[in-house]
Amino acid sequence: LNMNIYVPLAVLQDDGPGPVPVMVWIHGGAFRNGANCVPLYDARNFVARSVELNQPVIVVAPNYRLAVFGFLASKELQQDMEEYVRQSPTPIPDYDQSIGNWGLQDQRLAFEWVRENIGALGGNNRNVTAWGESAGSFSIHFHMLIPAHYGLFDHAILQSG
């Protein structure tokens, strides 16, 4: 898992504006292609414009596993998970029993990282907006529907999907 993090320079300075809102961009691509490094998703201009408007934001753009590496599911994988749960000496939460959702779990880890660490970069970890387009929009909607993922972010922008 990696993330591109776009931070206005002024936010990092001692006399900066204080904790600023954070936007986490989940890219689209039909759950099978795309990446946070696609030039179209370069958030430098977006962040620069936010500074010009005197409304600075930090943008975080995580990568997540795609295609069969992120969303493969089968009857055999389901059976394997059920066997693992039966044999586990400790209880396994329902959300960790899912199969074929590793891409969503990567996103969850990114949101958790933001909550825990973005303050060190001048971000407000209590003002996090999930922002996605196409499959990214679907992903955010899925996070909103999974009870164990409640609280990963505070606001959502769903474009397409």
Report the pLDDT value the prediction gives residue 119, as an integer from 0 to 100.
Answer: 96
pLDDT tens across 116-154, in order?
999 999 999 999 999 999 999 999 999 999 888 999 999
E strands present in the chain: 3-6, 20-26, 58-62, 123-133, 155-159
Average the pLDDT over 153-158 and give the result: 98
Phi and psi at residue 23, to the nearest 5°: -120, 125
User: What does the alpha-carbon distance between residue 57 and residue 12 come to, in Å, rounded to a whole number?
Assistant: 12
Count CA atoms within 13 Å of residue 127 on its CB side.
13
Q: Which residues pair with 156 in a beta bridge?
A: 130
Domain span including residue 73? 3-159
pLDDT tens across 18-30, in order?
899 999 999 999 9
pLDDT tens across 77-120, in order?
778 878 888 888 888 766 566 677 889 999 999 999 999 999 99
The pTM assigned to this predicted structure is 0.85
Q: How many domains does the chain have?
A: 1
CATH number at residue 99: 3.40.50.1820
